[in-house]
Structure 1
Amino acid sequence: MCEYLGRDSVGFGEITPRLLKSYEQYLIRGRHKLNTISTYMRMLRAIYNKAVDAGHTKYIHHLFHKVYTGIDRSHKKALEMPQLRVLLNGVVRSRVLNKVQQTACVMYKLCGMPYVDLQQISMDSITDGALSYCRRKTGTSVNVPVNGDILRTLRDLDLGNSDMNTESGYRRYQSLLRKFNAGLSRLARKLGIKGHVSSYTLRHSWATTALHSHVPVELISSALGHSDIRTTQIYLKGFNVGEIEKANRKILRYMDGR
């Protein structure tokens, strides 16, 4: 919102339904997806609610009532497996795109690790074939397996570390994220993959693949570092009618003793 208003800070007293609606329109004009707009609005609402609880501002009934704070489940985020294989294994000659591809591979192999967490991990966090880290977003502790192939890729990438507790560190991370997402888009186009591809595509694709591999949702949630299983269910792309029909036939055959 500071970027929208063209200044460094916004007072709680300035936040009105009219300003929020105007900000929402600004985000729409910027071609942001509904889920992105919802994330921004829910973050603002969480900060506002904390300020109300702390006595920094007064409560306004239905302040966020007219802006989008829901979840657009129609937006497809996960890649189909054939496309995912091409994205992660397709041949590219560019050294820059090759590094983007290797980074995408390691994020996917580390159970769909978010880019923000990849920038925080250190080799010292890997012991006995497992990487232990805390999700930046939720603070949840996550443990994921690390084999020799992943370990070598991490060393080759030499990702460094962004201290996001400082302004300069956070700005560096934002710059790296923009460059990585731009690189992913170029990589996808180069390999003939249509549609939007970003760092979160890898995360949603891992979760969806895990679901289709019959991994329990509780385990998927733990691997993703979600604090609430309902968040995990947002990630998961549903099965199509053909897959449900196949499963149903199997169940009915079992009932009939075949």
Structure 2
Amino acid sequence: MATVKIKFRVSSIETKEGTLYYQVIHNRLVRQVHSGYKLYSSEWDSGCSRVILSPGIEEGRKGYLLSVKTALSKELSRLKEVIARLEHAGIPYTADKVVELYTSPTDCGGFIAFAWKLIGDLKLIGKGRTAETYTAALNSFVRFHGERDLLFEEVDSNLMVQYETYLKGNAICPNSSSYYMRNLRAIYNRAVERGLTEQCTPFKYVYTGVDKTVKRAVPLKTIRQIRDIDLTFNPTMDYARNLFMFSFYTRGMSFVDMAYLKKKDLQNGVLSYRRQKTGQLLFIKWEKPMQEIIDKYDTSGTPYLLPIIKDMEMDARRQYKNSAHLVNDKLKKLGERLGLGIPLTAYVARHAWASIARSKNIPLSTISEAMGHDSEYTTRIYLASLDTSVVDKANSLILKSL
């Protein structure tokens, strides 16, 4: 096992300060790492490797020596941590490797430190959604592993299998587990691209696919119940119900797309918007029940159609996420109140519209067009599509059934 000590090199000029450095020894190979700190010979105890604070020392010098003492303790611990992690990884290493990891700009070359730095960089360049998905995956992994950083060599298939077992033991469904694994793999691959580690395929034995899930659809009868229930004395739940119904009325529009709808998107009885997920441009014929919901709220102080993003001085995405959390919480309680067999969320409106449309014998191609599905490539967005009048007729048929 490598050893590390703090050493003092006396200046060749008697009246000048000497320098402090760290000495790393492994397999008889000696390497030095400069600390950047300088002391006089009288201020260093070579036998005990510690700073000497002489009585009567002037305050300015005393403050400097105390700061050196603190820094040396932290940096020595950091070097020992690097050595401990190399030993724990069970891989051959050299004194040069210890020095390389200690001086790495990614805080000892650790996987977790690199991931946090990557997330910060993504936020700076406007990749907020990617940063959020990476953050969710990393937080889950840290709950499993703890805050201690990992060498990239420690991120191996055994560790990922242990992590997958941990997720299963905490009742995390396969799709959620896969979601975390795919994002961690993306972070790892970015480190490979930057030459911070070699590709060792640590995710080859864990599940990274997408299972078909049971559709969270409810029948037309339940949609009527949700629409007609009296929520006069519960305005927050009424707000959540109205947004749920607006989503259903607009062919299962996703909550994020609803949040960013602007008044200018409604022109001549047609609502147009681009899906946040795919960029696909969709057109919806404006129907009476949609207008009835809009009329319930005062949005005169914003350019938005719905009262989701309300404060122009605050971050729009944060407001959308907070509102989505509130709406889903209230919908869950509404679902329990109605005795539904599945958790009621905003996304149920999308599944319900598709399921009910199919029960009305509306062609799958029409349903796909109506919901803006894009299962292959983004370039399909620009290809010829169905006549929107067919989609509008499908939506009108469903709304008249209510």
- TM beyond 0.5: yes
Going from structure 1 to structure 2, the CA distance change for 1:179 and 1:160 (only over 3 Å counts) comes to closer
SS at match of 1:194: coil
Going from structure 1 to structure 2, the CA distance change for 1:220 and 1:39 (only over 3 Å counts) comes to farther
Task: Tell me the alpha carbon deviations over residues 147-179 of structure 1, each in whole angstroms, 9 at most, x when there is no partner.
Answer: 23312313434424389xxx9433332222111
Q: Which of the numbers 174, 195, 219 marks the counterpart of 1:80?
A: 219
Q: How far is the alpha carbon of 1:128 from its aligned partner?
A: 2.2
Q: What percentage of residue pairs aligned between the two structures are identical?
A: 25
Going from structure 1 to structure 2, the CA distance change for 1:219 and 1:24 (only over 3 Å counts) comes to farther
Going from structure 1 to structure 2, the CA distance change for 1:190 and 1:44 (only over 3 Å counts) comes to same
Q: Tell me whether 1:189 sits opposite 2:336 in the alignment.
A: yes
Q: How far is the alpha carbon of 1:180 from its aligned partner?
A: 0.9
Going from structure 1 to structure 2, the CA distance change for 1:125 and 1:72 (only over 3 Å counts) comes to same
**Distance in 1, Cα, partners of 2:286 & 2:206:** 46
Structure 2 equivalent of residue 216 of structure 1 = 363
Q: Tell me whether 1:170 sits opposite 2:314 in the alignment.
A: no
SS at match of 2:282: strand
Q: Which of the numbers 105, 113, 138 marks the counterpart of 1:2?
A: 138
Structure 1 equivalent of residue 245 of structure 2 = 105
What number of residue pairs does the alignment pair up? 225
Q: How far is the alpha carbon of 1:92 from its aligned partner?
A: 2.5
Structure 1 equivalent of residue 42 of structure 2 = none
Q: Tell me whether 1:159 sits opposite 2:307 in the alignment.
A: yes
**Letter matched to residue 86 of structure 1:** Q
Structure 2 equivalent of residue 35 of structure 1 = 175
Q: Tell me whether 1:147 sits opposite 2:294 in the alignment.
A: no
Moved more, 137-146 or 33-42: 33-42
**Distance in 2, Cα, partners of 1:16 & 1:60:** 7
**For the Cα contact (< 8 Å) 1:121–1:161, is it kept in 2?**
no
Going from structure 1 to structure 2, the CA distance change for 1:43 and 1:2 (only over 3 Å counts) comes to closer
**For the Cα contact (< 8 Å) 1:101–1:184, is it kept in 2?**
yes
**For the Cα contact (< 8 Å) 1:88–1:104, is it kept in 2?**
no
**For the Cα contact (< 8 Å) 1:12–1:48, is it kept in 2?**
no
Larger strand percent: 2
Going from structure 1 to structure 2, the CA distance change for 1:16 and 1:122 (only over 3 Å counts) comes to farther
Q: Which of the numbers 206, 214, 236 marks the counterpart of 1:66?
A: 206
Q: Tell me whether 1:131 sits opposite 2:301 in the alignment.
A: no
**For the Cα contact (< 8 Å) 2:249–2:289, is it kept in 1?**
no
Structure 2 equivalent of residue 120 of structure 1 = 260
**Distance in 1, Cα, partners of 2:258 & 2:167:** 27
Q: How far is the alpha carbon of 1:111 from its aligned partner?
A: 0.4
Q: How far is the alpha carbon of 1:121 from its aligned partner?
A: 0.8
CA RMSD, Structure 1 to Structure 2 (Å): 3.5
**Letter matched to residue 218 of structure 2:** L
Moved more, 208-217 or 45-54: 45-54
**Letter matched to residue 139 of structure 2:** E
**For the Cα contact (< 8 Å) 1:87–1:193, is it kept in 2?**
no
**Distance in 2, Cα, partners of 1:227 & 1:12:** 39
Structure 1 equivalent of residue 62 of structure 2 = none
Using structure 1 for the length normalisation, give the TM-score: 0.70
**For the Cα contact (< 8 Å) 2:216–2:351, is it kept in 1?**
yes
> Which consecutive unaligned segments of at least 5 residues does structure 2 have?
1-136, 298-305, 378-402
**Distance in 2, Cα, partners of 1:28 & 1:175:** 28
Going from structure 1 to structure 2, the CA distance change for 1:172 and 1:216 (only over 3 Å counts) comes to same
Using structure 2 for the length normalisation, give the TM-score: 0.48
**For the Cα contact (< 8 Å) 2:156–2:201, is it kept in 1?**
no
Task: Tell me the alpha carbon deviations over residues 115-134 of structure 1, each in whole angstroms, 9 at most, x when there is no partner.
Answer: 11111111110112221111
Q: How far is the alpha carbon of 1:50 from its aligned partner?
A: 7.4
Structure 2 equivalent of residue 200 of structure 1 = 347
